[in-house]
Structure 1
Amino acid sequence: MDAPPGESEGDTRMIEWSDEDLMIRDAVRDWIEAEVRPQADRLESGELPPYDLIRSLYKTFGMDELARSSFQARLEREEAGESGGEQGSGGGGNAAMTMLPVIELCKVAPGMVSAMGVSLGLAAGTIAGRGSAEQKCRWALDLLTFDKIGAWAITEPNSGSDAFGGMQATARPSGDGWILNGSKTFITNGPYADTIVFYCKLDDGREARDREILTFVLDRGMPGLEQSKPLRKMGLHSSPTGELFLNDVQVGPDRLLNSGSGSGKESAKANFVTERAGVAAMSLGVIEECLKLSVDYAKKRELWGQRIGDFQLIQLKLAKMEVARLNVQNLVFRHIEMQRAGRTPTLAEASAMKLYSAQAASEVAMEAVQLFGGNGYMSEYRVEQLARDAKSFQIYAGTDEIQVTHIARDLLDR
């Protein structure tokens, strides 16, 4: 019998987690219940930075050793002249071990995932994908094992969504190196980062929007580099966010990534794909937790002598939450299939995933607050925190409006 259109013999479509996946999920859940949930209030208040907990996760599940062995294997392939894979590409492996901790952590502390994802996926990913062998050994490995914390610095106070065109940070040639000046804001891990991937424009006399984008690696404590204290913000309190200020920071050619090959703009766009696709997994965690809390509350809370779950308006809210859960879960499953196939989403695909899943998570979380009524507005019931955290999904890694633009441009250019 012929395979259905678009499929080949032996193809499988992921419709549920495997038994192995569920074992990993349950182990991660147990760890979160023992280590993270008891610290939720301290994480939310900003009293406890998330980094020691993330390191504990890595050591508990051997993720640090796995990263170390994978890094060494990749270096050996590259030295042998084999392709090491492009930045952000899916390399197969255990995709569930990547996605499931993200989903489960987002049920309790989505900010932890932001802190972890920026350090590993963006800072380490940029260096691993664009750096020389020496640069990878010098900086990327410590980030991949989470022995050190990384930040990815592109956003500026006056640039917003126009990250490249509005960029004002500069690299002025000086001898065989450069002198960096400028500031960055909304930088995840900025206050605590040991290693910073810094984007700026080459100051070569051309019009600002025509200048080349360069990418450098900076270390905490460099003369002229100032890292602010954590900023106060609406949500994601378990993800420290700060500002960076550079005043005549001198760097040599050893800190320039991808010299003579490609551009910093290409590097950043590759990271946008990775970051945006990952938002689907984060959104799924928030949606699943809000649905679980809402169903439990609808069963227990009574009004006029009956549980509120018997009222049709409450049932409508629960039904819409379940629809959102199924849709976002399918996006996550599709992304896992692509990883296993070694395929990277296009920018438009990643943008579509982020646009839908971020809106779904925010809507579900706000509906959960409404379902809980006055209790939903109180922090002890947790849906209040999840609603604030979920709203950030529609802003960082590109606003909803930017996702629309990227999707539409791709459709119109075909």
Structure 2
Amino acid sequence: MDFTFSDEQLAFRDALRSLVDREIRPVANEWEHSGRYPTEIVAAMREMGLFGITTPEEYGGLDLDKVSFTLVFEEIARGWMGIAGILGSHNLSCWIIAHHGTDEQKEQWLPRLATGECRTGIGLTEPGAGTDLQGIRTTATRDGDDYIVRGTKTWITNARHADVLPVLVKTDPTTSPAHHGMSLLLIDTASDGFEVSRDLGKLGYKGTESCELFFDDVRVPRSALLGGVEGRGMQQALSGLEIGRLNIAGRSVGIAQASYDAALKYAKEREAFGRPIADFQAIQLKLADIATQTQAARLMTYWAAAKADSGERIDGEAGMAKYFASETAITASLESMRVHGGYGYSTEFDVERYYRDAPLMSIGEGTNDIMRTVIAKALVGGSLSIG
């Protein structure tokens, strides 16, 4: 067993940390509270090639191994979790296109997506369908060589900056089970009838927009059907969620680590009764708990990522990592706030941002209750074994 990163991965981590320290940390609080879009940070991430981390090299991407992929999200989230969201949805979409698209679709979009010249996200969730994607109501009706798309999507990351969106639709609403009639369409956001209606207000996860979308008789050519065959949209979307859960687990570890770093630094600097509060056992116990849980979450996350690199299915492992790491992020941010006392509640300190960002990790890419059922099914089915 080797629990260390390779020299290449360590060098990559150092480059990521340099980017975060130079471009993200100095402005995160100010821009997050003002609602300013991080244009300069996006440009820096483009320059580093981070919009192509899941795109094959033949299309100009980095095609990172899954451990390095997960490192990206841990390190970016240590600086500002919302920025990691910009990369997450984009690279999930690129992965889906790369694995399921036709040759023509890959040639059309992947080279420009890999450089960040074009941007993307993914349109799955609807006002009445989140966890239950089979309950979506957005339809795509055939009209000659086109589809006419009608419906609504919500909580869509990168919507205002996307050039193309894979959108889950029902191409045959009468089919049972429903997922047999669902498809993904690569919708050009410049199409007539496509509208980003509003940005949704959020507790945290700021820096990137989360939007509601309307499709009012949007005409989409049949050539935009992902993979060229109807009825495979649900499988195509779900296949990307395994790496999506590594993304969320990595972000969660980043939040937990940032919470620990802030707590340790503050405990060494803050004095009470003439001594640093780090000398008091009550604070030491909190630091020990945060550190232990964070390291356990990190090891579980990279265990799942390493197994993904072996080519095996990791639904159970990724579910475990996402579940445990996201719960750890919530606990670590709260305990760090407690170490900070009243200052932890101040918007001048980073820890209140960690506290607001952490809960989304228990919801994104499947709620943690869903993760527990995924884990249980993997255990019962034999694809995941413990001990």
- The normalised TM-score by structure 2 is 0.91
Ranges in structure 2 where 5+ consecutive residues have no aligned partner: 383-387
1:46-86: per-residue Cα shift (whole Å, max 9, x none)? 64323542332231x35578888703489xxxxxxxxxxxx
Query: 1:35–1:235: structure 2 CA closer, same or farther, 3 Å change rule?
Result: same
Q: 1:232 aligns with which of 193, 201, 210?
A: 201
Shift of 1:350: 1.5
Q: Which residue of the partner structure matches residue 70 of structure 1?
A: 57
| Counterpart-to-counterpart distance in 1, 2:290 and 2:232 | 42
Q: Which residue of the partner structure matches residue 390 of structure 1?
A: 358
Q: 1:356 aligns with which of 282, 307, 324?
A: 324
| Counterpart-to-counterpart distance in 2, 1:62 and 1:73 | 9
1:65-108: per-residue Cα shift (whole Å, max 9, x none)? 8888703489xxxxxxxxxxxxxxx97x5556433332221112
Query: 1:236–1:158: structure 2 CA closer, same or farther, 3 Å change rule?
Result: same
Q: 1:106 aligns with which of 61, 67, 77?
A: 77
Q: 1:33 aligns with which of 18, 21, 27?
A: 21
Amino acid at match of 1:143: L
1:330-361: per-residue Cα shift (whole Å, max 9, x none)? 123323422443x2443222111111110011
Query: 1:306–1:405: structure 2 CA closer, same or farther, 3 Å change rule?
Result: same
Alignment of 1:217-228 (within 5 A): 217-228=186-197
Query: 1:261–1:178: structure 2 CA closer, same or farther, 3 Å change rule?
Result: closer
- Please give the secondary structure, in 2, of the residue aligned with 1:250: strand
- Please give the secondary structure, in 2, of the residue aligned with 1:57: helix
Q: Which residue of the partner structure matches residue 22 of structure 1?
A: 10
Query: 1:318–1:24: structure 2 CA closer, same or farther, 3 Å change rule?
Result: same
Shift of 1:409: 2.6
Amino acid at match of 1:17: F
- The normalised TM-score by structure 1 is 0.85
Whether the 8 Å contact between 1:149 and 1:193 is mirrored in structure 2 is yes
Whether the 8 Å contact between 1:173 and 1:203 is mirrored in structure 2 is no
- Please give the secondary structure, in 2, of the residue aligned with 1:226: strand
Shift of 1:228: 2.8
| Counterpart-to-counterpart distance in 2, 1:375 and 1:63 | 35
Query: 1:242–1:204: structure 2 CA closer, same or farther, 3 Å change rule?
Result: closer
Whether the 8 Å contact between 2:55 and 2:110 is mirrored in structure 1 is no
Whether the 8 Å contact between 2:246 and 2:305 is mirrored in structure 1 is no
| Counterpart-to-counterpart distance in 2, 1:16 and 1:224 | 51
| Counterpart-to-counterpart distance in 1, 2:30 and 2:349 | 16
Q: Which residue of the partner structure matches residue 385 of structure 2?
A: none
Alignment of 1:18-167 (within 5 A): 18-45=6-33, 47-59=35-47, 61=48, 70-72=57-59, 97-120=68-91, 122-164=92-134, 166-167=135-136
Whether the 8 Å contact between 1:202 and 1:212 is mirrored in structure 2 is yes
Amino acid at match of 1:333: Y
Query: 1:39–1:138: structure 2 CA closer, same or farther, 3 Å change rule?
Result: same
| Counterpart-to-counterpart distance in 2, 1:112 and 1:263 | 31
Amino acid at match of 2:201: R
Matched, 1:323 2:311: no
| Counterpart-to-counterpart distance in 2, 1:365 and 1:234 | 15
| Counterpart-to-counterpart distance in 2, 1:34 and 1:214 | 42
Alignment of 1:332-347 (within 5 A): 332-341=301-310, 343-347=311-315
Shift of 1:363: 0.7
| Counterpart-to-counterpart distance in 1, 2:97 and 2:4 | 34
| Counterpart-to-counterpart distance in 2, 1:67 and 1:402 | 25
Whether the 8 Å contact between 1:299 and 1:309 is mirrored in structure 2 is yes
Query: 1:53–1:160: structure 2 CA closer, same or farther, 3 Å change rule?
Result: same
Whether the 8 Å contact between 2:59 and 2:111 is mirrored in structure 1 is no
Q: Which residue of the partner structure matches residue 275 of structure 1?
A: 244
CA RMSD of aligned residues (A): 2.5
Query: 1:161–1:401: structure 2 CA closer, same or farther, 3 Å change rule?
Result: same
| Counterpart-to-counterpart distance in 2, 1:286 and 1:109 | 8
Amino acid at match of 1:321: I
Amino acid at match of 1:138: Q
Amino acid at match of 1:141: P
Ranges in structure 1 where 5+ consecutive residues have no aligned partner: 1-12, 75-89
Alignment of 1:195-206 (within 5 A): 195-203=164-172, 205-206=174-175
User: Identity of aligned pairs, percent?
Assistant: 29
Q: Which residue of the partner structure matches residue 158 of structure 2?
A: 189
1:297-330: per-residue Cα shift (whole Å, max 9, x none)? 1111122222211222211111111111221221
Q: Which residue of the partner structure matches residue 304 of structure 1?
A: 273
| Counterpart-to-counterpart distance in 2, 1:278 and 1:386 | 17
- Please give the secondary structure, in 2, of the residue aligned with 1:251: strand
- Please give the secondary structure, in 1, of the residue aligned with 2:27: helix
Matched, 1:256 2:235: no
Whether the 8 Å contact between 1:68 and 1:145 is mirrored in structure 2 is no
| Counterpart-to-counterpart distance in 1, 2:19 and 2:167 | 34
Q: 1:216 aligns with which of 185, 192, 197?
A: 185
More moved, 400-409 vs 381-390: 400-409
Whether the 8 Å contact between 1:170 and 1:181 is mirrored in structure 2 is yes
- Please give the secondary structure, in 1, of the residue aligned with 2:214: strand
| Counterpart-to-counterpart distance in 1, 2:269 and 2:260 | 14
Amino acid at match of 1:102: F
- Please give the secondary structure, in 1, of the residue aligned with 2:19: helix
Whether the 8 Å contact between 1:54 and 1:116 is mirrored in structure 2 is no
Query: 1:161–1:358: structure 2 CA closer, same or farther, 3 Å change rule?
Result: same
1:241-297: per-residue Cα shift (whole Å, max 9, x none)? 101100111112111012237711111111111111222211121111111111111
| Counterpart-to-counterpart distance in 2, 1:210 and 1:58 | 36
